[in-house]
Amino acid sequence: MDEPLQALLASLYADGVHHDAAEPDRLLRRRNLEPATAELLAQLVRIVGARRVVEIGTSNGYSTIWLAVAARDVGGRVVSVDVQEWPELRANLRRAGVSVDLRLLEGGAYLASLPSGSVDLLFLDAEREEYAGWWPDPIRVLRPGGVLAVDNVLSHPGEVASFLSLIASDPRCRSATVPVGKGLSLTWRGH
């Protein structure tokens, strides 16, 4: 990643931390992914060769930029889905020089609309208690060998417990929790 892009991401993240500290309404906070988690996720996109990347929970585009740069490295693209469009989102993507397919939709409804096996890497970063209600689509949409990444599994274990249990009950899935940032669950979807 070149220096101007690194500087942009660092400034977006710092600005987000500052913004969120002054915002009492949780739903109006940007809640950007921790940089170490974003870097790991982006590297995973490259290693897996994930050309079809889906993110649920765009916010102002911080994690989206990390994913889009990595997807571009392997000839892929990111679809990022959110129930609202944040005012600075498109400007941030432009400044980063990335092209992303944005969808203004409910994440579960979007996943339900996708064909089986059509996603290489799915990243869930929305309202955690909703994920279990999306079952089985988060795994159904993954191609065999695809990856499901879920943030906040160590910071909010109670909110993701039922979803992680559903994953654990699927014999095709192998999961691990990486203690980076707020805790990233990584699931490999086997055959």
Ligand X SMILES: C[S@@+](CC[C@H](N)C(=O)[O-])C[C@H]1O[C@@H](n2cnc3c(N)ncnc32)[C@H](O)[C@@H]1O
Smallest gap from Cβ 160 to ligand X, in A, equals 13
143 by Cβ neighbours in 10 Å (0-12 / 13-18 / 19+) ranks as middle
Q: Does 57 bind ligand X (CB under 6 A)?
A: yes
CB of 82 to ligand X, least distance (A): 4
Between residue 151 and residue 190, which ones bind ligand X under the rule CB under 6 A?
none
Q: Which of 74, 83, 161, 178 binds ligand X (CB under 6 A)?
A: 83
User: How much of the chain is in helix, strand and coil states, percent to nearest 5?
Assistant: 45, 20, 35
- Closest by CA to 126, choosing from 102, 108, 140, is 108
Task: Tally DSSP H helices, then E strands, for the chain.
Answer: 7, 7
Least Å from the CB of residue 69 to ligand X: 14
Is 92 a binder of ligand X (CB under 6 A)?
A: no
Measured from the CB of residue 191, what is the shortest distance to ligand X in angstroms? 29
Decide if residue 120 touches ligand X (CB under 6 A): no
**What's phi and psi for 93, nearest 5 deg?**
-65, -40
Angle in degrees, CA 179, 133, 138, rounded to 5: 60
Tell me how far, at minimum, the Cβ of 163 lies from ligand X, in Å.
13
- Contact between 125 and ligand X (CB under 6 A)? yes
Enter the DSSP assignment of 97.
T
Q: Does 126 bind ligand X (CB under 6 A)?
A: yes
The reply to whether 149 sits near ligand X by the rule CB under 6 A is no
Tell me: does residue 127 bind ligand X (CB under 6 A): yes
Please pick, from the candidates 6, 11, 84, 165, the single residue that binds ligand X as defined by CB under 6 A: 84
Q: Is 63 in the site for ligand X (CB under 6 A)?
A: yes
Rounded CA gap, 20 and 110, in Å?
27
d(CA 168, CA 161): 10
3-state secondary structure of 140: helix
Q: Which chain residues interact with ligand X by CB under 6 A?
A: 31-33, 56-59, 62-63, 81-84, 106-107, 125-127, 130
